[in-house]
Amino acid sequence: MTARLLYVCARPQRDAAAAEWASFRDGLGVGDDDLVHHDLVREPLPADLDRYAAVVVGGSPFNVTDPDKTEEQRRLESDLERLAATAIEGHTNALFTCFGIGVVTRLLGGEVTLLHPEGTGPADISLTEAGRADELFGILSPRFEALTAHKEGTASVPPTATLLAENDACPVQAYRAGVGLWATQFHPEPTAEAFVARMEVYRDAGYFDAEAFDQVSAHVRTVSVEQPTLLLRSFAARAVSA
């Protein structure tokens, strides 16, 4: 692979950030030098995005609906909005995940709400008709499992986006916006073991009952991540061929 990809990190916890980068690297099927790590928590968005074939945006303990945001979080969200607008306009390809879908939803005038949380673990995802026809999602099974853990969600697909995947607990699991932006509520990148390691970092963050760590971990380990990995491989292949 000659075209480099950019991983944009929105996690303040350095250990979780490094592990997420590694999960995206492995899921995309690229080498260490082919996925550049950018810490958006501590550094503003790079000005030279055109150096990269595509961008992946990881998750975060931040929430778009947080009532009292720090200046750091506000700047980070503003930078993500600029990145999203660049992808929507077709100047880059970008995949926003988990926290990122909330940022894009708000940018597009949609509603981000606390009414559609999902617990920590595997979730059943269904493709819409548009998802089955999408150039990225179309290679996936019509129904598949993916890992989720979030406190907020998109109430309904934004008016200028196309719904690609859904489930009962959180009606907007993925959509496409504009020319080059895809957004997922679920996490496409971690293996079950990587997700359990991430749970250790966020054990007391309110995503699950800390006292039930062993039970939740055992449930996480039942998931197959074959389909989410296919999505990442599809995204990497599109980036290289564009």
Domains of the chain: 5-241 (3.40.50.880)
Of 108, 100, 239, 116, which Cα lies nearest the Cα of 178? 108
The percentage of the chain sitting over the pLDDT mark of 90, rounded to a whole number, equals 97
As a whole number of angstroms, the distance between CA 81 and CA 105 comes to 10
Mean pLDDT over 170-194 rounds to: 98
Q: Which pTM value belongs to this model?
A: 0.97
Q: Average per-residue pLDDT in the chain?
A: 96
Mean pLDDT over 202-229 rounds to: 97
What is the three-class DSSP state of 138?
helix
Tokens of residue 202, six digits: 């966020």
- pLDDT at position 111 is 97
Mean pLDDT over 167-173 rounds to: 97
The β-bridge partners of 210 are: none
pLDDT, tens digit, 9 for 90 and up, residues 21-34 = 999 999 999 999 99
Confidence band (pLDDT; 50, 70, 90) for 98? very high
> Which residues, 6 or more positions from 128, have their beta carbon under 8 angstroms from its beta carbon?
163, 164, 165, 166
pLDDT, tens digit, 9 for 90 and up, residues 111-131 = 999 999 999 999 999 999 999
As a whole number of angstroms, the distance between CA 17 and CA 59 comes to 9
Other beta carbons within 10 Å of 219 = 16
> Which residues, 6 or more positions from 67, have their beta carbon under 8 angstroms from its beta carbon?
none
- pLDDT at position 144 is 98
- pLDDT at position 240 is 83
Of 152, 145, 124, which Cα lies nearest the Cα of 230? 145
pLDDT, tens digit, 9 for 90 and up, residues 148-157 = 999 999 999 9
DSSP state of 70: -
